[in-house]
Amino acid sequence: MKIQCDFSTIKASKRHLLSNPITAAFHAIQAAISAAGYEIVQEDPDVVFVFGSITKRKMDTERAISIQQHRDNGIPIFSLDSSLFSTYIRNRMESSETYMFRVGLGDCVGTGNFLNENSDSQRYLWMKEAFQFEEKEPVADNDKPILFLLQSERGWQYDENIPFYSWARKIVKQIRASTDRKIILRSHPNLDRNPTAMIAEGYDNIEIEHADRNRRRVIDSIKQAGLVITHSSSAACESITEGIPTIALDKRCVVYDACMNDLSLINSLELVDWSKREQHLNNWAYTSWTIDEMANPDWLNYYLERSELVEKKI
């Protein structure tokens, strides 16, 4: 089997730096490829690993061109992005980096296949111990503020045709049609050209909160909220873990299936169904891996076998 790690999907200024975690992850995967007896190639692969995703809004970037070409050629793609539970990991490591990545077949966003259905609890229990966090009992407080986690147009999560601030204003209007509760607009760490203030303009009882570049303090905002709403922020993983009712409005959210997907229960949070949370948490733990784990040929074969790209070894 010929396997490629497509370094063109990493930012040009960082793709040759081993100090860059995603570059280090690709080198680890190449080590696993060699150790497993497969062939490392730079063209005509049977399988390719890429970093990130693409949106119809930005099809002219080097990453987008490369990923689309692999898709057009029918090459199975494993896509890497930041680990789930990343805020807990960053805070435990006191770092802006997690040195862990989630891996999805086809894509790294919610529309990808993470090959993790009905996972056991072993890895989630390890993650809780390693990074010192616990899932909290779900709460239903219809009076506490609504935290609206915003997206950036610079990334690959937001895929709508209209500017993000316009989309977000539509959601604020829908919220205000149901409740006058305080709304906290939390900006994305990657600031866009359109300021967050444009989303709040003309509405009362809205507070703007600016995200920290290290992506470590969002958990504090989540804990103060009665409800979290997002287009597709991966921080919805943390809000579900914290027992805060969460609405994800786009399937590109990596934890979309664990969230409510509309505003129908915005004033009836006691009706939120938490019965499947334990299984979701177990499944999410099997999306994300350390760079050292990625260098192990057993890790590589785990994905190749689960995706039925190679026969499972007995």
Query: pTM of the predicted model, to two decimals?
Result: 0.93
Tell me how far apart the alpha carbons of residues 27 and 120 are, in angstroms, rounded to a whole number. 29
> Tens of pLDDT along 125-169?
999 999 999 999 999 999 999 999 998 777 767 888 888 889 999
Nearest to 51 by CA among 33, 34, 70: 70
Nearest to 67 by CA among 82, 76, 54: 54
- Name the band, by pLDDT with cuts 50, 70 and 90, for residue 217: confident
Domains, the chain, in order of start with CATH, read: 2-129+286-306 (no CATH), 146-273 (3.40.50.2000)
> Tens of pLDDT along 266-297?
999 999 999 999 999 999 999 999 999 999 99
Nearest to 187 by CA among 149, 216, 215: 149
